[in-house]
Amino acid sequence: MVKRFCLLLLFLAVAFASGCFKKETPPPPPPPAPAEQTFTIYRGSPDGLDLLVPEHITIKDNGRPVMENALDALVYSKPRAGNGLDVIPPGAQLLSLKVEKGVAYADFSKELATKGLGSNGESLLVYAIVNTLTEFPEVQAVQLLVEGKARATISGHIDVSEPIKRNADYLRK
């Protein structure tokens, strides 16, 4: 009987211990930090030397392609204080962007083709877009479109009828 009592006590002790001491589950891992996208866009030189200066931008990943975000930043954001001048005409909008066989087709609203930019202003506009997009290895040239159509020039000075390659001559050394 003592044996039975001891076995019963042992059984109850094991049952009690297994029920009372729950295994602690480790806390869930912290959520991953939001992914970021980093890219370089080009703005007009703040010293008026008709050159382009890089602006490095980091944003939270919004699920859109980084190339689209870069061009959006060039078109819609304002330069950081003292870091460059906006070369995109007011009201210009990016309508679409696609890349085929190394050529980026960047389609803008008619406001891009502002008259009176002058040859230097038009050069900075064109090469700000081209040099921003050719930062991406899949883009070797850029075809600028206005309202879905290729034009001879944007405002009368620079030939944009064919895809344009990167031009480092406009970049500050």
Whole-prediction pTM:
0.80
* Residues 43-102: tens digit of each pLDDT: 999 887 789 999 999 999 999 999 999 999 999 998 886 778 889 999 999 999 999 999
Torsion angles phi and psi, residue 86, rounded to 5: -70, 130
- Please enumerate in sequence order all residues whose Cβ is within 8 A of that of 145, keeping only pairs 6 or more positions apart, or say none: 105, 106, 107, 108, 151
Q: In this predicted model, which residue has the larger pLDDT, 155 or 140?
A: 140
Give the three-class secondary structure for 71: helix
What DSSP assignment string belongs to 31-65? PPPPPEEEEEEEEE-TTSSS-EEEEEEEEE--SS-
Whether residue 69 contacts residue 37, with contact meaning beta carbons closer than 8 Å, is answered with yes
C-alpha 153/C-alpha 117 separation (Å) is 12
Amino acid letter for position 69: N
C-alpha 40/C-alpha 58 separation (Å) is 9
What DSSP assignment string belongs to 110-169? GGGS-TT-HHHHHHHHHHHHHHHHTTSTT-SEEEEEETTEE-SBSSSSSB-SS-EE--GG
Encoding tokens for residue 127?
Answer: 């090469």
* Residues 28-44: tens digit of each pLDDT: 887 776 689 999 999 99
DSSP structure class, residue 78:
P
Encoding tokens for residue 16?
Answer: 């009690």
pLDDT at 104 over 80: yes
Encoding tokens for residue 86?
Answer: 């906006």
C-alpha 62/C-alpha 170 separation (Å) is 31
C-alpha 16/C-alpha 21 separation (Å) is 8
